[in-house]
Amino acid sequence: MWKGRFRGETDVRVRDFTQSLDLDWCLAEDDIRGSLAHARMLERVGIISQEDLRRIEEGLSEILEEIRNGSFEPDPALEDVHMNVEARLTAKVGPSGAKLHSGRSRNDQVATAVRLHLRRRLKELKGALGGLLKVLLELSERHQEVIVPGYTHLQQAQPISLGHYWMSHFWAFLRDGDRLDLALMSISRCPLGSGALAGSTLPLDRFMVARELGFEGPTQNSLDSVAQRDALLDAHYFCVSCALHWSRLCEDLIIYASREFGWLDLPDQFCTGSSMMPQKKNPDVLELSRGKASGVLGRFVDLACMVKGLPLTYNRDLQEDKRGLFESLSVTGSVLEVLSALLERVEVDQTRAMECFSDGLALATDVAEYLVMRRVPFREAHEKVGRLVRWCVDQGRRLHGLRLDEIMRFIPEAGEDLLPLLDIRTSVERRCTYGGTSPSEVRRQREEGARLLESW
């Protein structure tokens, strides 16, 4: 393509080293869409003739067909998808094809193709994320009445409704939906027409091209258009945030399904066995999802590092921008899918879950708050209940199995009305502050969540 300037052939090692077909062949359809819009604009402003445009359109639609049916074999000597498509076009339609690149550079061309590609893939991911959110809502409804331990420091803290637990992940993933929308906003303007970096002396109509490709308008600054990759970072950060969320969810489920916790049962079809130990049922899907989350984060950092020290504007380093991002997008898609399917089928063992509360100590805060309502300063209440807990631990007694006189040795303010509060289910039902774990509050969350999902 640049043979005019050079003496001799490119070294074959350089050809193999610089080609990016493994990264960008998947952009072929987006590249062609961009080229069609560019060509129509070139015709409209009088740079190419109607006849040129007709040939370009015909040629490109044939090429599209060849790409779809797999008969187009790209040539690595032509570096990337953009040059391959253009060379094929010129081979097909001659000089009309050779006019297509007027006013255009691969720098604005690739920036545009990547945006078109991302728009499509982000919308697919939005669907997959919506699917996961629906499953979480359903689980919350199904497990509304199931009570399990809530943890801080992975130490039993207070009893919670499992429905509340599922909703906690619902809200986290819902915020990822906002991040995805932000990523879509970051790619809402069209870089095409920025040229190599400075715009063009040709009378290009960038507004027309942007409209034609479904963008809100053209980007504002040609240098920024070919140099910036924060739009890609935004898309990548959506994946990162999602990955951090699914990874924590997976970690929880792995723990809850372990024999020692044992109140969560993972579906057999989503677990794997051991080649040696016949009794094993391993949560490999959850572990792999957790493992793949590291890759997503690592690749995000990779892209950020690459951009960090780059002089404006385009540098060939940027060709590598697609490698990690595309991988992270597909990992995100596959995890969202498999995780939704797994979650739909999890079962709980309420009896096992209740056994976790056998010492009743998870009710200690309830006792302290009972005292607060009797005007005991909280710090004093905390200490008194702490002493009672200490005594229970030493004596091997259950907090919710004590007689009132035993309690009163530590807490003289206690009355008969404390005893019915020493119950796991009652404890959950009474936590009805806004956003708390009581059934009424969890129902409210679900209603609000379902309402937000309607406009997904």
Give residues in contact with ligand ARG (CB under 6 A).
Answer: 20, 24, 80, 106-107, 110, 314, 316, 318-319
Contact 15, 101 (CB under 8 A): no
- Helix ranges (DSSP H) in 214-272: 222-227, 230-256
Instruction: Write out the H or E segment, with its range, that includes residue 24.
Output: helix 21-24
Contact 247, 293 (CB under 8 A): yes
- Residue 289 appears among annotated catalytic residues: no
Q: Say which DSSP state 146 is in.
A: -
Angle of CA points 230, 235, 238, to nearest 5°: 120
**How many Å apart are CA 359 and CA 402, to the nearest integer?**
11
> Given the complex with ligand ARG, which of 84 and 289 has the nearer CB atom?
84
Q: Which two tokens stand for residue 217?
A: 């308008």
Return the amino acid letter for 309: G
> Given the complex with ligand ARG, which of 320 and 429 has the nearer CB atom?
320
CB of 80 to ligand ARG, least distance (A): 4
> Given the complex with ligand ARG, which of 316 and 451 has the nearer CB atom?
316
Burial class (CB in 10 A: 0-12, 13-18, 19+), 68: exposed
Angle of CA points 89, 95, 97, to nearest 5°: 25
CB of 110 to ligand ARG, least distance (A): 4
- Helix ranges (DSSP H) in 25-80: 28-44, 50-68
Q: Say which DSSP state 9 is in.
A: P
- Residue 200 appears among annotated catalytic residues: no
CB of 106 to ligand ARG, least distance (A): 4
Half-sphere exposure of 243 (CA within 13 A, CB side): 28
> Given the complex with ligand ARG, which of 106 and 446 has the nearer CB atom?
106
Q: Which residue out of 49, 61, 258, 274 is catalytically annotated?
A: 274
> Given the complex with ligand ARG, which of 168 and 319 has the nearer CB atom?
319
**How many Å apart are CA 139 and CA 145, to the nearest integer?**
11
CB of 301 to ligand ARG, least distance (A): 20
> Given the complex with ligand ARG, which of 80 and 212 has the nearer CB atom?
80
Q: Which two tokens stand for residue 425?
A: 């289910």
CB of 144 to ligand ARG, least distance (A): 51
**How many Å apart are CA 74 and CA 374, to the nearest integer?**
80
Radius of gyration, CA atoms only, the chain: 30
> Given the complex with ligand ARG, which of 153 and 308 has the nearer CB atom?
308
CB of 334 to ligand ARG, least distance (A): 25
Angle of CA points 416, 429, 371, to nearest 5°: 40
CB of 190 to ligand ARG, least distance (A): 17
Instruction: Give catalytic residue positions.
Output: 153, 274
